[in-house]
Structure 1
């Protein structure tokens, strides 16, 4: 066993080399894949189910691909955070205080199937290590994750294997989840397969089950 390294992070704040990947690093999520999103429909920043946020990077988010610096509008560089299951959506959106607010800003839960396969760079495999980082990238400081997301977005524009976004792991549930870049917009349908307010009868039952399991509060 070699000497233990000190004074050097496992994950550099930004890539130290040009990023590249091959087809084996890209996960394909087929048209049978269901995506979920929770979005607020009222308040200061109402959001449609298929809106991509062009303003960023925002300090509270982890994988914004926008250029580093103060939040600004970057046309063509948008992001949509989704999940493969409703529970991960609930955990990611309401993790602060472990309280699910089903009425404030009128949140909706929306699900849809893809119209074409998604190509997502797999950050849960060994690709980060091959690029000079480590698996710890998934839970690195948010500023570091955003730097890497932007570098990936830039590299994808000229890559032989362009991607629609990232396949990452929720730091709350540990489950995989997609982070979609603007390139993925053509994979979204014209209308979702399901949408309901969080306090609607069908979704509220699922919310209550989630809250009971993890001892969260529902208001």
Structure 2
């Protein structure tokens, strides 16, 4: 039987000064990767935080009801890490592909003009560590925050953002590749984005073909 995430109780949220492991300090220069859609019905840009929500994102901090919320935003990305990486982008890119296309397990290289963005943090990031610390257990939750019902995880995201407004977001294990670390950057993290990304590569570019094919084959995704 899968574990169920209880509703958040902010009264149980500890002071972050109580344990240095609860906040992950991601250094300036750390590599992040994300895939965004530059076309289609709702085009965006590599540096844009989504202020419309909450949608289906696991850690959307937007208050309900769904709508435009000035001053509240989210950007999902993957931190540089192992994930069987063969080069510096392979690991985070593989996890980003799986996260973005998980609903139908189909990697559509052209629909919505998806683009790989790779960028370095311009300043250190302070992220609540939901993956490699015991904060979630101390706060009365469990590992289902990263893999259970998303609506309940969003309730936790709202409570966390309200309790710790000084944070740049959260870092959690990917529900698809547990060794990967997914970050939800919130509005305060906007100042951590660089002026220019390291790379912006449309997914239909030939230089990504071999890598995308390798990811699709390994994880049994359909490639279109």
Alignment partners' CA distance in 1, 2:209 and 2:191: 31
What are the superposed Cα offsets for residues 93-137 of structure 1, whole Å, 9 maximum, x if unpaired? 001221100001111001001111111000122101111112332
- Correspondence 1:1-219 to 2 at 5 A: 11-15=5-9, 17=11, 19-20=13-14, 21-22=16-17, 23-58=20-55, 60-67=56-63, 69-84=64-79, 85-124=92-131, 125-157=133-165, 162-174=166-178, 175-219=180-224
Alignment partners' CA distance in 1, 2:209 and 2:116: 10
- For the residue of structure 2 that corresponds to 1:185, the secondary structure is helix
The CA deviation at 1:10 is 5.4
Structure 1 stretch displaced more, 179-188 or 14-23: 14-23
The CA deviation at 1:155 is 1.1
* Structure 2 length-normalised TM: 0.87
Query: Structure 2 regions of 5+ residues with no counterpart?
Result: 80-91
Alignment partners' CA distance in 1, 2:171 and 2:137: 16
Larger CA Rg, structure 1 vs 2: 1
Q: How has the CA–CA distance of structure 1 residues 205 and 87 changed in structure 2, closer, same or farther, with 3 Å as cutoff?
A: same
- For the residue of structure 2 that corresponds to 1:190, the secondary structure is coil
Alignment partners' CA distance in 2, 1:96 and 1:10: 21
How many residues are paired up? Answer: 205
Asked if the contact 1:19/1:151 (under 8 Å) is kept, the reply is: no
